[in-house]
Structure 1
Amino acid sequence: MASTLMELVFPDAQGLADLGTFVGRARAADQDGAVRLQADGTTLAAYVGVLPGSGLMGDGAVLGLRTMPLAEATTLDTTVALAAVGDRVARTSGVRLPVPAMTVAVPWSAVAPPRAGWERVGTVAVEDLVEAARQGIAEIAQGAPADAGAQAVTALRRQVWGRSTTTVPPVRTGGAFAAYVLGFVPEGTAATVWAHGRWTRLSTPAGHVLMR
């Protein structure tokens, strides 16, 4: 029977630490960001927003997804602040994580990526993703001086992360950035590229990046 408690129970302390690491990396990309925690059984899916989208359909949004096993069957779907989860992980020494009761509303959580029906497009070396991410970071740093206004910085970020990489197949540079900052680029591996309608997914052994 699925647990209805607002608590996640991991098989071991390492499982809880993995969630803490993922949340910490997501906070490096968005200090005030959120995480959507979904579970229906013994698998937790944790979604984070790396780059915001625009409009009702969230076009341009880039999400990170990491799945991890749970020790107890749980039914949960809540979106909470990254900071709240990070604080609870830091204070927890066992395998049980109390889920924050206070939820937050973020546009990207309203449009759920598909779970099935993906079509494999090809593969991209993670080294190419890392290079694209680093070039984009450098371009934004050089093009956005300290006195640049918020609108100018936002426009530059949208321009840089919205373009495609030179890889075959090409992917959005913002997806490379998300894979890089979330630690989804284990050395010597490749990212599999998948497509589903308006969505593109990069998958590596460490996690998934979803682009709309």
Structure 2
Amino acid sequence: MSQSFSLVDRLAVGDLQTYLSRAGRVEDGSVRLIAGSGVLAAYTAILYPRGLLDESPTVLGLRTFALADAAAFDAVVPSRSLLDRLARVESQPQSDVGVVVVSLPHEVSTVTWAGISPPRGGWHAQGSTDAATLESAARNGIEEIAASIPTGTGEQLVQRVRSEVWGRPVEGLDYVPAGAAFAAFSLGFLAADDVVSLFETGPWTRLTTRRGHVLVRRKPWTLRA
């Protein structure tokens, strides 16, 4: 397996840093990196079930980056370790243009959500929504959770409240959970007047903007007939 990958320029390094930092504010864990055919796909987990009784949908963020090499790998690495390597690259004196080589951190093997692989093809368009609708759903959910969870609440109750709030559908989008809106908002994928395209394949829904993708694996009882 490749021990490094090459981004096309320092702007891409900055974009990857920003994406990982935003994801880390929600879930400070790991990132799944899949490289191949000149593209690096970086998946981060925003929501996922924490146990058999947890009804939370699996909600992943996805950003893609052009590669300047033929690296091919599928690795799950600690987000902080990758951010440290990106910061070291940024601190090195070099031209603002040109290829930037980033070394891969050591892999981790205990990340449950990383074993769920979203499909790469077979997506069917399901219309669109707008950024304002998703941002409103995200803000409303954040406010509801903050109001429902007093200081000192146990982790089990906190997770139950979050699961309930983020598992509800966005108003007018019966098959898009509010957790998808939260992910798009938290990752900085929404901007005023943006059109958000919706796609589906099997149990998966994808929300796509110019800034990135949100992938949702829905529970079986939410699937269309």
Q: Which residue of 1 aligns with 2:14?
A: 17
- C-alpha distance in structure 1 between counterparts of 2:162 and 2:4, whole Å: 37
Q: Does the 8 A contact of 2:7 with 2:66 survive in 1?
A: yes
CA apart distance, 1:80: 0.6
Residue correspondence of structure 1 range 92-103 to structure 2 within 5 A: 92-93=89-90, 95-103=100-108
- C-alpha distance in structure 2 between counterparts of 1:90 and 1:182, whole Å: 19
Q: Does the 8 A contact of 1:122 with 1:169 survive in 2?
A: no
Task: Check if 1:123 corresponds to 2:128.
Answer: yes
Change (3 A) 1:62 1:204: same
Q: Which moved more, 1:105-114 or 1:86-95?
A: 86-95
Q: Which residue of 1 aligns with 2:221?
A: none
- C-alpha distance in structure 2 between counterparts of 1:159 and 1:182, whole Å: 21
Secondary structure in structure 2 of the residue aligned to 1:71: coil
- C-alpha distance in structure 1 between counterparts of 2:184 and 2:106, whole Å: 29
Q: Select the residue among 36, 41, 44 that pairs with 2:37.
A: 41
Q: Residue type of the partner of 2:48?
A: P
User: Residue deviations 1:29-82, cap 9 Å, x none?
Assistant: 112x11000011210000000001355xx9711000111101111111100111
Q: Select the residue among 79, 92, 108 that pairs with 1:82.
A: 79
Q: Which residue of 1 aligns with 2:112?
A: 107
Q: Which moved more, 1:46-55 or 1:12-21?
A: 46-55
CA apart distance, 1:167: 2.6
User: Residue deviations 1:2-28, cap 9 Å, x none?
Assistant: xx5311111110011111111101101
Identity, % of aligned positions: 38
- C-alpha distance in structure 2 between counterparts of 1:15 and 1:48, whole Å: 17
Q: Residue type of the partner of 1:161?
A: W
Q: Does the 8 A contact of 2:47 with 2:56 survive in 1?
A: no
Work out the number of aligned pairs and report it. 206
Q: Select the residue among 179, 202, 205 that pairs with 1:200.
A: 205
Q: CA RMSD in A?
A: 1.6
Secondary structure in structure 2 of the residue aligned to 1:171: strand
- C-alpha distance in structure 1 between counterparts of 2:109 and 2:190, whole Å: 29
Q: Which residue of 1 aligns with 2:171?
A: 166
- In the superposition, the TM-score normalised over structure 1's length comes to 0.92
Query: Which runs of 5 or more structure 2 residues have no equivalent in the other structure?
Result: 95-99, 218-225
Change (3 A) 1:193 1:201: same
CA apart distance, 1:126: 0.6
Q: Which residue of 1 aligns with 2:194?
A: 189
- C-alpha distance in structure 2 between counterparts of 1:144 and 1:14, whole Å: 39
Query: Which runs of 5 or more structure 1 residues have no equivalent in the other structure?
Result: none
Secondary structure in structure 1 of the residue aligned to 2:117: coil
